[in-house]
Structures are given as C-alpha cells and as structure tokens.
C-alpha cells in the first residue's frame, strides 16, 4: 500500500503544482483553457491513436469487459439517480448527480497514470472504459437533460449526441486507431515518432491542467458532494469489481485495470456539461474538487487491492 501510494504521489504532485499555478494566478483561466485544449485535441489524441493503432485489435476489444464495466457503472448511475429522485430533484439535476457518481477522469488522469503504474498493457482496457463512458453515459446525460426539459426525446437531441461524438477528439482518435489496427496497417516510423513525441506531452500536460482547473472550483454543497464522491471513489469500483470478478468474470489483468479506472475521481467534463446546460454546476464543481482531493488516498488503496488479483 505504501509503495503504491509513493508511486501515485508524483501524479498528484503535478496536479497540486497545477492547482498552485491556477490559485496564485500564475496560470490564468485563459491559459488553463488553452493548455486543456492542447492536451485534449493534440497530445492526448496522439497518445490514444498511437496505442490503438499499434496494438492488435484482438488485444483491444473485449466484449465481456465492456459489458461488465457497463453494468457495474449503470448500477451506480441508477443508485445515484434514485437517491436524487427520492430527495425530490428533477430529472436533469438527478442526471448531473448520477454523472458525477459514475464517470471518472479516465482520459486526463486514468490513461497516463494506469499506463505507468500497471504497464502499457493497461491501455487497451482503459480505452474500452473511456469509450463506454463517452458513447453511453455522455450521451445518456444529454438525453436525460433535454428529455427532462422537453418531456420527450427529439431528433434535435439525437443530432446533438451524434455531433458531440464526432467532435470529441478522444472518441475519434480511439475509433480511428482501432480501425487502423483492425485493417493491420503498419504505422510508418516517421508517423510513430511524431505521435510518440506529441503524445509524450499528454501526461504532464493533462495532470497540470487538472490541477489548474481545480483552482476555479468551489466547495459548495459539501454534503451532497461528499455523497457523490463516495459513490465515485468507493461504490463505483466496488460495483464494477463485483460484476467483473463474480457475475461476468474476465481475465484478472483487464478486470483489475477496469476496477482501477472506476476508482478515479469525478471527470472534469461533468462540470462543463452542467455549466453548459445550467444544471447544478456548483454541485458538479464541488464533487470534482472533493473527489480529486480524496482520491490521493483512495486510488492507491484500490490499485494496491487490484494488484493482488
């Protein structure tokens, strides 16, 4: 446990450095936005495409892992939604809380951290987890918010979901890389070197951007944020673990990677969605801030546990 904590500490130290830069205004909000855009559209996309394109397709796609992670995540999503509805919240607000409870920072934090801590073999399972989050749950929150407001699912909402996926560089780079791998096209050396250099900026850039963006987050509605953080950091990996270990068993290594990915703190894009639709942005902000701070202790614990599988 101590060894794993020390190995994860540098990742959180870079996040802390970014937080200091944002809090002290050494990095302005505009600078943070541009750094995030660089990582999101260029560095992280290059890393995802290179790994997807160079790994054998059979090693990337695992239907049982996809189904197991989907069911485990859905269980937490439903739990958070039910609790929100019992408290009298409307469907859009309940959807934001459910998204906080079930969607982690897999792209910016999970991919670089788990690739280094659990070896590059973890990248395939992480990309599947990320794809499920993007395709299923990022679409689901748009449906619930718009459907909750309009009372029905419209063609405009479906177009919005489709455009959101097509414009998402992580989804596009994973899909393009998997197609490249499926057709067994070799990656030219020059292209591979280009992607390696550009993708190398993803890890420090993403971690620093997480910290700098946290500097603008507020800690309002602490009790609700604590509940959502508990769901994300404890209930989510527990539910995914139950499904992947006992209900739909998969090989130990991909199962451990998916469980570790489920233990990550709330994703930053939940706040962006909440702010865009004007639905409980402060709630999402507090959940991101508190869950990220608490994950300094909980993530090493989960990684130490899954390492024993």
* Per-residue confidence (pLDDT) for residue 264, from 0 to 100: 97
Long-range pairs for 182-190: beta carbons < 8 A, 24 or more residues apart: 182/57, 185/53, 187/50, 187/53, 187/54
* Per-residue confidence (pLDDT) for residue 79, from 0 to 100: 97
CA 182, CA 304: separation in Å to the nearest integer? 34
CA 5, CA 11: separation in Å to the nearest integer? 10
CA 192, CA 15: separation in Å to the nearest integer? 28
**Contact predicate 65/128, CB 8 Å:** yes
* Per-residue confidence (pLDDT) for residue 21, from 0 to 100: 96
* Per-residue confidence (pLDDT) for residue 219, from 0 to 100: 67
Per-residue pLDDT of 204-240, as tens digits, reads: 999 999 999 999 887 667 899 999 999 999 999 999 9
CA 299, CA 12: separation in Å to the nearest integer? 11
* Per-residue confidence (pLDDT) for residue 253, from 0 to 100: 95
Query: How many domains does the chain divide into?
Result: 1
> For residue 158, what are the domain limits?
2-306
DSSP 123-135: HHHHHHHHHHIII
Q: For position 189, which CATH number holds?
A: 1.20.1530.20
What's the whole-model pTM score?
0.91
CA 143, CA 157: separation in Å to the nearest integer? 7
**C-alpha torsion 60→61→64→65, nearest 10:** 40
Q: Is 104 helix (H, G, I), strand (E, B) or coil?
A: strand
CA 107, CA 210: separation in Å to the nearest integer? 11
* Per-residue confidence (pLDDT) for residue 220, from 0 to 100: 66
* Per-residue confidence (pLDDT) for residue 293, from 0 to 100: 94
Give the Cβ contact number of residue 81 at 10 Å.
20
- Taking 50 as the pLDDT cut, the residues of the chain under it are none
- The CA-based angle 189-168-119, given to 5 degrees, is 50
């Amino acid at each position: 446990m101590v060894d794993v904590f020390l190995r994860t500490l540098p990742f959180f130290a870079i996040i802390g450095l970014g937080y200091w830069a944002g809090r002290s205004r050494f990095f302005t909000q505009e600078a943070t936005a541009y750094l995030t855009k660089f990582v999101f559209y260029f560095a992280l996309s290059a890393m995802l495409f290179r790994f997807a394109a160079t790994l054998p397709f059979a090693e990337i796609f695992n239907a049982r892992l996809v189904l197991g992670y989907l069911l485990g995540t859905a269980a937490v999503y439903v739990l958070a939604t039910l609790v929100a509805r019992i408290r009298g919240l409307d469907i859009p607000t309940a959807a934001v809380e459910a998204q906080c409870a079930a969607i982690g920072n897999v792209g910016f934090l999970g991919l670089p951290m788990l690739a280094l801590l659990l070896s590059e073999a973890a990248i395939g399972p992480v990309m599947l987890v990320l794809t499920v989050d993007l395709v299923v749950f990022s679409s689901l929150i748009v449906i619930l918010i718009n459907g909750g407001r309009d009372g029905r699912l419209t063609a405009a909402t479906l177009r919005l979901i489709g455009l959101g996926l097509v414009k998402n560089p992580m989804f596009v780079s994973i899909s393009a890389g998997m197609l490249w791998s499926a057709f067994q096209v070799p990656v030219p050396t020059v292209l591979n070197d280009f992607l390696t250099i550009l993708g190398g900026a993803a890890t420090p850039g993403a971690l620093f951007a997480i910290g700098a963006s946290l500097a603008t987050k507020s800690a309002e509605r602490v009790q609700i944020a604590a509940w959502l953080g508990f769901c994300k950091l404890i209930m989510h990996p527990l539910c995914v673990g139950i499904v992947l270990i006992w209900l739909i068993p998969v090989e130990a290594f991909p199962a451990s990677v998916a469980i570790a990915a489920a233990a990550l703190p709330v994703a930053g894009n939940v706040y962006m969605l909440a702010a865009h639709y004007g639905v409980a942005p402060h709630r999402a902000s507090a959940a991101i801030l508190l869950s990220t701070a608490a994950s300094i202790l909980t993530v090493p614990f989960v990684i130490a546990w899954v390492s024993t599988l």
